[in-house]
Every structure is written in structure tokens, then in C-alpha cells.
Amino acid sequence: MSTIPATLPGGTWSLGDLTVTRFGYGAMQLAGPGVMGPPADHDGALAVLREAVALGITHIDTADAYGPHITNQLIREALHPYPDALRIVTKVGAFRDEQGGWPPAREPEDLRRAVHHNLDRLGLERLDVVNLRLGDAQGPRPGPVTEAFETLVELRQQGLIRHLGVSNATAEQVAEARAIAPIVCVQNMYNLAHRQDDELIDELAEQGIAYVPFFPLGGFSPLQSSALTAVAARLDATPMSVALAWLLQRSPNILLIPGTSSVAHLRENIAGAGLSLSEEDLAELDRIGR
Ligand SMILES: NC(=O)c1ccc[n+]([C@@H]2O[C@H](COP(=O)([O-])OP(=O)(O)OC[C@H]3O[C@@H](n4cnc5c(N)ncnc54)[C@H](OP(=O)(O)O)[C@@H]3O)[C@@H](O)[C@H]2O)c1
């Protein structure tokens, strides 16, 4: 079994007035195959969530579209009433069709309904952070965000949401949202091999806004690179550990939400993310996504 450090790797970060551990947990993969339906191992899914909190994680990422509804129901079953320090970050802006697709649902009425669904299923009176999910399953798409974002601002003013963020967004959409109201995070796809947001990450770091990479381990297709394998072998670590440690060292505003349906992997990832990468390691890893 992996040795878990007393303090989670990376320390903490502030999402507005909310403190979270930089090592968080992404709940998407707890639903069934293709993020549809219930998990094969219901009790195993509850155990992962409980272990995450027991190990000190205070940031769980979810969405009512996962399952749909399944991960929120699992989070509530495993953890409600929630520990005071736990922050649950959710997202709205897409629903699930019968084929398992993620069509956009960003009309004001869709967003209001989605916020209420998250509140009901998580058993909360106010959501800590809501990300407006933009783009589609292929990635960010240019387009206006004002009407959708203003709808979430209204819901925040009604006391249903504490802080806002955007997800799957272009840099222009991030700027458009920020011109309307403050955001505390941007959640986009980013990892060692997908470096399209390098500039945005640095800009957000200067503004004190978190960048939360989804698919930190490659998502549905695990990260594969000979350079990653070589660095991991040299450090006697797993490629997953190196990928997570690299993200934590990449910028202080990066928060990790790796997903897993396994308690052993969760422990392994926490133990591995604290790995210290040398300048030589970083230079070698840096070339992967360039
Ligand atoms: N905003 C968006 O549009 C968006 C899109 C996608 C995801 N997300 C969020 O981002 C989170 C992270 O993404 P993700 O979970 O899809 O991808 P990920 O964290 O990159 O990778 C998860 C995959 O890695 C495997 N894994 C994890 N630790 C491992 C280990 N130590 N050894 C071997 N395999 C390991 C998991 O399998 P096991 O279950 O077997 O461990 C799972 O298949 C999601 O949970 C979700 O909350 C957001």
C-alpha cells in the first residue's frame, strides 16, 4: 500500500473565500461505462469518496450530467452531512442524450434547472462553485457566453451559488465572463501532452484564479509518451505520479482533480504527486507537449 503524506501534496489554494486542497478528486469516472448509468461496484464507489475525504481532500469535482445524476447521488450517499471543510464544485451547461452524448444546455431555463438539480441531488442549499461548461465534447468552441453567464450571476445573487467558474472555454470566453463577474476557476483539458492553455494558466496565476485541468492523466486514453516513461523509470515512480507532480510544479494555481474508481489508485496518486522533479526532469517533460 502507498505511503500517504500527512499533508496532501501541493498544500492549499483559495477559491474566493473557500480554501481547498490543491490535490482534489474528480468524481466523473464513478458512474458507469461512458459516464452513463450506475457503477458496477456501488459500495466501491462510496468507499473511494469516503477515502478521499478521510485522506484530507477538500475539493471534489462533479456534475449532475455524470450518470446523469449518478455521481451527485453517490457523493450525497457517501458523504452527507458533509464535513465543514469539504467543497463540492459542479458544472452546468450540458445534458446527456440517449446515445450518451453531451449536447449543450445553456439556455437560461436549462441553467436554472441544472442548478436546482445539483442542489437537490447533492442535498445542499448553496453550491460552493458552479462552472459554466462551454464548447462540446471535442473541446472549446468560440461563441458568446454573456447570456448564460449572466443567468448564473443571477442565481448567485439569489444565494444559490457561492462562486462561479467556466469550463471548456477559450481565452476569449474567459475574458468575456470575467468582464461580467469575478470567476474563481477555469476548468479546461490540460496535461503533459496537451499544453494549449499554457499562456492562459500563467495569466490566471497572476490574477489569483485557479486553473483546474481535466483529464490530468489523459482521461479515457491514459497519457503515453516515451519521455514520460523514461523520467518515471529514472525516478522509480509511475508515469501517473510524474504527470501529477508535473502539474503541481507547473504553476501554483493548478488544482488537481484526477479521477479514479479505485481506492488503491487514489492512494497511489496522492503518494506519487508529491514527487520532486529536478530541472533536468522538467526540461525533458516540457518537450512532450511542445
Ligand atoms: N469540465 C469538463 O468538461 C470535464 C470533462 C472531463 C472530466 N472532467 C472532470 O475532470 C476529472 C478528471 O478527469 P478523468 O477522471 O476523466 O480523467 P483522468 O483523471 O485524467 O484519468 C482517470 C483515469 O485514469 C485512471 N487512473 C487514475 N489513477 C490511476 C493509477 N494510479 N493507475 C492507473 N490508472 C489510474 C482511472 O482508472 P481507475 O478508475 O481504474 O483508477 C481513470 O480511467 C473528472 O473526474 C471530472 O470531474 C471535467
How many whole angstroms from 273 Cα to the centroid of ligand 1?
A: 15
Instruction: Count other C-beta atoms under 10 Å from residue 77's C-beta.
Output: 13
- Tell me the three cell numbers of residue 9: 501534496
Q: Which domain holds residue 216?
A: 12-222+253-261
- Structure confidence at residue 289 (pLDDT): 85
In angstroms, how far apart are the furthest CA atoms of the chain? 53
Does residue 231 lie within any of the structural domains?
A: no
17: in domain: yes
Residues of the chain with pLDDT under 50: none
| pLDDT tens string 6-57 | 799 999 999 999 999 999 999 999 999 999 999 999 999 999 999 999 999 9
pTM value > 0.95: yes
Q: What is the DSSP letter of 237?
A: -
Q: At what angle do helices 146-157 and 108-122 cross, to 10 degrees?
A: 40
Cβ neighbors of 59 (< 8 A, separation 6 or more) are: 20, 21, 23, 24, 25, 87, 89, 255, 257
Residue 189 lies in a domain: yes
Provide the grid cell at 59. 475539493
What distances in angstroms separate CA 231 from CA 81, 157, 175, 212, 284, one per listed residue?
A: 42, 48, 36, 24, 8
- What pLDDT is recorded for position 4? 74
What is the CA(214)–ligand 1 centre distance, in A? 8
Q: How far is the C-alpha of 37 from the C-alpha of 281, rounded, in Å?
A: 41
Report the CATH number that the domain containing residue 218 is assigned in CATH: 3.20.20.100
Name the one residue in this structure whose C-alpha cell is 486514453.
221
**Does residue 20 lie in a domain region?**
yes
Would 284 be classed as within a structural domain?
no
Q: Closest Cα partner for 15 from 220, 132, 181, 182?
A: 182
* Cα dihedral 169/251/272/63 (nearest 10): -20
**Ligand 1 atom nearest to CA at 30:** 39
Q: Residue 220 CA: which ligand 1 atom is closest?
A: 43
CA-wise closest residue to 190 among 165, 210, 172, 208: 210
- What is the reported pLDDT for 105? 97
Q: Residue 278 domain-assigned? A: no
CA distances from 149 to 63, 67, 179, 183 (A): 17, 24, 10, 10
pLDDT given at position 1: 52
Tell me what pLDDT residue 179 has: 98
What total of structural domains would you count in the chain?
1
Q: Dihedrals φ, ψ of 233, to 5°?
A: -65, -40
Helix (H) or strand (E) holding 228: helix 226-234
Residues flanking ligand 1, CB < 6 Å: 26-29, 61, 91, 133, 167-168, 187, 214-219, 240, 257-262, 265, 268-269
Q: Rounded distance, CA 151 to CA 147, Å?
A: 6
pLDDT on residue 2: 63
Ligand 1 centroid to 126 CA: how many Å? 26
The pLDDT assigned to 290 comes to 76
Query: What CA–CA distance (Å, rounded) separates 65 from 102?
Result: 8
* Residues with catalytic roles: 66
Among 51, 215, 241, the mutation site with the greatest number of ligand 1 atoms within 8 A of its Cβ is 215
Q: Which helix (H) or strand (E) holds 128?
A: strand 127-133
Residue type, 120: D
Q: Determine the distance separating the centroid of ligand 1 and the alpha carbon of 147, expressed in angstroms.
A: 31
Of all protein residues, the one whose alpha carbon is nearest to atom 9 of ligand 1 is: 214
